[in-house]
Amino acid sequence: MKGIDDVVPVLIDADQQNGDLTRTVELLERYGEIRSHLSFEDVDRDAFFGTSISDKGMHYRVPISGEVNKTFGDFIHFNQLDEQNQALISLLFSKKNLKAEMNVGFKGNPNMGSVVLNNFSEDKRADISLKQLLSSFQCDDRIFIISSIFGGTGAAGFPLLLKRLRGAMAEDFQAAAFLRQCQIGGVTVLPYFGVENSEESTVNMGTFLSKAKSALTYYLNNLDVNVLYYIGDDLKNNYRNCEGGRYQENNAHFVEMAAALAVVDFAAGDFQEGHVFKEYAIRKDVDPVTLPQLSVQTQQVMRKPLMQFFLFCEFFKNKLSKSLSYAWARDKHLQEAVFQTEPYKSLNIFFDGFLDWLHEMEENSRSFRPFDLDFAKQNPLDAVVGILPLRENFLRRHFGPDRGYFTLLDAMEKVSVKMPQKISREDYVMNVFFDATSSVIQQYF
């Protein structure tokens, strides 16, 4: 990522069994495993897995204490309150709120989340983890906070975490002065999906918009951020109503991908001067969204890298074994057994996650469909939806269903002879695929 040396993602969620949380952490760990086998000696070279992603010994999480393994009523000691205070609490929280188990999060209730997370600085496990995470924080480092605004944990946690960072004291953090002055950005995700009605669940999509409006009203005067990004969409799709746990695995969504682009924009910009607010838009209100429907700025950031990684994935998954008799692999003694070891086992799993991500976004609504995933197995170069390769030159070169793969293989043969002799085998494979996919995209698109 341009402008950033190291990204340290941290997930904060009371629901430690959350299915989406689990698979996110697994993919981050796979990314780290793959990258650990690569050298990146040429720091200016663009490459797959080129961005350093660290966990600082945190396993990508800041734990919330065992205090959440109880009902909300027990957490606030409701039964120990006198009659008058119980009556007051009953005005603020429903019986369902008081009986709600918090080990799967706050079930779309920011009023509960704000009470629990307000004790963040008093939570010993969370505080120790936060201090460990920020122990090496430097003057030029930045913080970016991603949260939804229509649930419980994100809507409540964003301002409270921000308050903790901006109010950092020297006795708490050795980098307190840097934390108070650093550039902090955030993306607040407005409603973009609904949930099915369920009598067994306290999560009600009918309250999403009202909760978002209430949170926005509070955010207006209580967020000390340098830049705040907004994104949302019509509620086009209803997910299964699952309050949490391992069954909460929502399909990937275009809004989430677009929200992630805010991190890239934040990393590349300078927002020291004051409060900046940004929104995101596509060219037309269409469904599905294809690459040509993205703005010029978005395409400049992600079109080529996404296409490169897609070509890499498709070749590796479908044609790698048939290419090992060619010079690019033969001269480096790259046999099939090599690709059954690390980091290629992790790479294969990472590719599976990448393809799942593409499938889920295509099947969701609003759909994002950059590639025809079925046709890609025949010819990945013709699979880019809405963008045709320069067919006249392309068809002269190869005919038949595998011509896209042969085109990529030709490029791999050409770039492989230019690789340094002393490069490691893992670096060699990654660089060959990166340079070959870059060359093909430049030539045909």
Strand, helix or coil for residue 187: strand
Percent of the residues in the chain that have a pLDDT greater than 90, as a whole number: 47
Task: List the structure tokens of 393.
Answer: 């030159």
Q: Which residues pair with 148 in a beta bridge?
A: 189
Provide CB contacts within 8 A for 296, sequence distance 6+. none
Class of the domain covering 6-280? alpha beta
Q: What is the DSSP string of 82-110?
A: -HHHHHHHHHHS-HHHHH-B-BTB-TT-H
Q: What is the pLDDT of residues 173-187, one digit of tens each?
A: 888 899 999 999 999
User: Is the pTM for the entire model greater than 0.95?
Assistant: no
* Phi and psi based region of residue 351 (left: phi greater than 0; alpha: psi -120 to 50; beta: remaining): alpha
pLDDT tens string 32-44: 999 999 998 887 7
> Of 445 and 326, which is predicted with more confidence?
326
User: What DSSP string runs through 111-157?
Assistant: HHHHHHHTTGGG-HHHHHHHHHHTTT--TT--EEEEEESSSSHHHHH
Q: What is residue 34's three-state secondary structure?
A: helix
- pLDDT at position 158 is 85
Task: Name the burial class of residue 374, with classes exposed (0-12), middle (13-18) and buried (19+) by CB atoms within 10 angstroms of its CB.
Answer: exposed
Instruction: Name which residue leads in pLDDT, 418 or 401.
Output: 418
How many residues are listed for the chain in this entry? 445
Higher pLDDT, 419 or 125: 419
Query: What's the confidence (pLDDT) of residue 199?
Result: 64
Q: Are 38 and 73 in contact (CB under 8 A)?
A: no
pLDDT digit string, tens, across residues 53-103: 998 888 898 776 555 567 778 877 888 889 898 898 888 888 877 877 766
Cα gap 72→220, rounded to integer Å: 28
Q: Please give the distance of CA 311 from its chain centroid, rounded to a whole number.
A: 21
- When pLDDT is averaged across residues 392-415 and rounded to a whole number, the result is 74
Round to whole Å and give the CA distance between 259 and 279: 10
Q: Where are the domains of the chain?
A: 6-280, 297-444
